Structure 1
Amino acid sequence: MSTKVYVGNLSWNTTDDNLRNAFSTYGQILDSIVMRDRDTGRSRGFGFVTFSSGSEAQSAIASLNEQELDGRRIKVNLANARGSGGGGGGEMIFTWRSDLLS
C-alpha cells in the first residue's frame, strides 16, 4: 500500500525533481510534488512524496528528517490523511454535563 510523506520547510528554490531525487534513495517513488501558490506559482514551502510502501516511507523519514535540502533543514513525517471531500464534515458529538448547572 502506498504511503505519503509530508516534507516541510522547503527552500523556495526546491523543485519537484529536487524533491524526488532527494528521496529516491529510500524506495520507489510514485509521486512527488512541491506545493505552489496557484496565483503566483511560488513554492509554499512544503511538498509531498508518495512511496510504494510504508517501510520505504519510514526509512526516508528516519534518514531525512532534520537534514538539509537546498540549504534548508527539512521536516519529514507521515502526511495526515484527509477524508473524502477535502476537509470539514466530521461528526460532532455533544454530551450533556449536568454538573455545570449547579
Structure 2
Amino acid sequence: MEGHNPKEPEQLRQLFIGGLVFETTDDNFREHVEIWTSLSDCVAMRDSQTKRSGGLGFVTYSCAEEEDGAMCARPPKVAGRAVEPRAVSRKGSVEPGAHLTVKKVFVDGIKEDTEE
C-alpha cells in the first residue's frame, strides 16, 4: 500500500474485536475479518482451561490505514453476529484524558454462581 511505513507500531495497526460467538475458531475468525481488508495477524482468544473461544479476538493489519478502513466497515459481523471492533489502547497517548473514556472492562474466570 502506498505510504506504508514498515516501522509503524503494532498498536496503531491492531483492533480488538468483541462479541464473537463462542464457537469461533482462528480460521473462521480470519475468514470473516479478512473481507474488511488484508491482515498480518489474527487470533481468537481462548479460555485457558476449556479451550473454548472467549468471545473476543485481536486483528493486526499491515498498516494503520487498513486498521482505519476496517473501523469504517460498519456494521461489522462475524459468523452472522454483530461484533464490536475497537482500536487497541495506545500506550503513551498524548491525548489528555484518553484513559478516562473506557466504559467496559472484560473480566474472565468468574464462576457461574457469582452474584453482583
Tell me the TM-score normalized by structure 1: 0.70
Shift of residue 34, structure 1, vs aligned partner: 0.5
- Which structure's residues are more often strand, by fraction? 1
- Structure 1 window deviating more from structure 2 (10-19 vs 73-82): it is 73-82
Shift of residue 16, structure 1, vs aligned partner: 1.0
- Counterparts in 2 of 1:26-41, with a 5 A limit? 26-41=36-51
8 Å CA contact 1:26, 1:57 repeated in 2:
no
1:77 aligns with 2:104: no
8 Å CA contact 2:33, 2:78 repeated in 1:
no
Distance of 2:91 and 2:25 partners within structure 1: 24
Question: What is the percentage of aligned positions where both structures have the same residue?
Answer: 32
Shift of residue 26, structure 1, vs aligned partner: 3.4
Three-state SS of the structure 2 residue aligned to 1:45 is strand
Distance of 2:90 and 2:21 partners within structure 1: 24
Aligned partner of 2:29: which letter? L
Distance of 2:51 and 2:76 partners within structure 1: 26
Aligned partner of 1:63: which letter? A
Aligned partner of 1:73: which letter? A
8 Å CA contact 2:76, 2:83 repeated in 1:
yes
For structure 2, the residue ranges without an aligned partner over 5 or more in a row are 1-7, 93-116
| Root mean square deviation, CA, Å | 1.9
Aligned residue pairs: how many?
A: 82
For structure 1, the residue ranges without an aligned partner over 5 or more in a row are 84-102
1:68 aligns with 2:81: no
Distance of 1:69 and 1:26 partners within structure 2: 11
1:11 aligns with 2:56: no
1:20 aligns with 2:14: no
Aligned partner of 2:69: which letter? S
Distance of 2:18 and 2:46 partners within structure 1: 13
